[in-house]
Structure 1
Amino acid sequence: MKSYSEQRAMLARMVKACAETRNHLSIIERQIRKRAERMTITARVKTRQYGRMKFTWTPADERQCQENAAQLRFERRGEVDALTRKLERQKGAILAFRVRYRINEDADLRDQAGEAAS
């Protein structure tokens, strides 16, 4: 049987790994969003240029950007799906670990608040 401190350390590692996976997903989404914006600006730069490198974002640009983002998401769907499944497995493992060792989330939040106050 694991000691309480070992359980807490293992749970902390699991939570950290889950947070890293979630962060990786958000990075991919940011990359897709930014790339879609760049693609839209590049495709429509000549029709939208007013003066010295000033642009206006039109409803047509927004539609084009959304289409580009959908295309990029489709292209990266394998990577996103794999990370989403991994995230769900990690969440399930954390929940099972909490149930097995009777560690509730409220205690974690109190512990983190106590560490932050120190």
Structure 2
Amino acid sequence: MIEPSERSILLARMEVAQAETQRHLGIIERQIAARAERLTVTERAKRRQHGRSASSWTTADERLLQEHVAGLTLARHGEIDALTRKLDRQEKALAEFRSRLRVSAARR
């Protein structure tokens, strides 16, 4: 049987690993969003010239941004899917570990 101190250490390690996976997934999402915005701004600047009084963001620009996000997400779908599956496995393992040890998520 696992000692209480070992249980808490194991639970903490599992939670840290899950948080790291979530953080990595968040980094990828922010990278995609930032890259899509840079691509959109660059394309927009090449397509038209406007003065300072012109609108800075149009619905066409928003559509272009969403197209870039979709394309970049598709390009990295393998990495995103792998991290999502890993996160699901980690969540299930944590839930099972907590239920076996009768530890609630609120007691952390």
Counting only pairs closer than 5 Å after superposition, residues 3-82 of structure 1 correspond to structure 2 as 3-46=3-46, 47-51=48-52, 56-82=56-82
Checking the alignment, whether the CA contact within 8 Å between 1:98 and 1:104 is kept in structure 2 is yes
Which structure would you say has the larger RCO, counting Cα contacts within 8 Å and 6 or more residues apart? 2
**C-alpha distance in 2, partners of 1:59/1:48?**
17
**C-alpha distance in 2, partners of 1:39/1:58?**
15
Q: TM-score, normalised by structure 2?
A: 0.92
Q: TM-score, normalised by structure 1?
A: 0.84
For these two proteins, the number of residue pairs brought into alignment is 106
- Spell out structure 1 runs of 4+ moving beyond 4 A: none
Shift of residue 58, structure 1, vs aligned partner: 1.0
CA RMSD of aligned residues (A): 1.5
The percentage of counterpart residues that share the same residue type is 51
SS at match of 2:16: helix
Amino acid at match of 1:41: V
**Distance change >3 Å, CA 89–CA 48, structure 1 → 2:** farther
Structure 2 stretches lacking a partner, 5+ long = none
Checking the alignment, whether the CA contact within 8 Å between 1:48 and 1:55 is kept in structure 2 is no
User: Is 1:95 equivalent to 2:95 in the alignment?
Assistant: yes
